[in-house]
Amino acid sequence: MHPLIHEWAMDRIPIHKRSLFKEAATRLVACAIKNLPVRIRLLSHIDSLLWHSAIAPMHVNDRAAFGKMLRKAGRLEDAQGVWMAVRDELESRYDILQISFATVYLEMALTLKKESQQRRIWEEDAVELYESVYGETHMKTLHAKRSLAETCLSVGDYKAAARLLRCLLKELEEQDAEFYLEACRVMRIAASVSFRQKEYSGAQSFGEQALQGLSSILPAHDREVLTASAELARTYSHLKLHADAERL
């Protein structure tokens, strides 16, 4: 919807009712964000609601929902601005860091390129919070550690990535079958780290396990399966296993 339409609609609302209407519209849009067919149509409404934030204070949960939507739409700078506002509001409310800060740190990190050192810092903060509240084996902690390992790989700190991945694999070995997909994802990253360190036999072992596991859970056309296949084919090529590379 064009911004002028938003302004026209706002002008037709009596001034003493604008705050109430804006809060209602904010809740409606925030609740509809998970509806995939209409989600892309909500961006102009989100822009309008954020722009008119002076009319009525916006709840921090609504800002968080809008920040996530902006990130998924590829508007990373706008999303980062929203999430930083969420962080500032939380900091003004609480004397100590709450678990909600971990979500904010991870969302802010996702607005940056994987090669960014600031992304690594925010992910490290999130991991520290998750570990202190949920423990080392909670799924949220494991997800955050895996994301941090990928960032360490992207910035070229292979030793830190390998150290994180070893800890993750050890923790995942002791978990139930429901953690198997996460273990496969960790092994795929471990294969990439081994490849970057020119440890091609290790890259082959991790890569084969990752591909076998991902293929057993996800569809053949899934992006993760295709990425694991391409990375394993690259490893086969370096090991001169050309027939296996061509098969993949």
User: Are 43 and 2 a contacting pair, CB within 8 Å?
Assistant: no
- Rounded Cα–Cα distance for residues 11 and 69 (Å): 27
What is the full DSSP assignment across 83-116?
HHHHHHHHHHH-SS--THHHHHHHHHHHTS-TT-
Dump pLDDT digits (tens) for 177-221: 778 999 999 999 999 999 999 999 999 999 999 999 999 999 999
Dump pLDDT digits (tens) for 113-150: 988 999 999 999 999 999 998 988 889 999 999 999 99
pTM (2 d.p.): 0.79
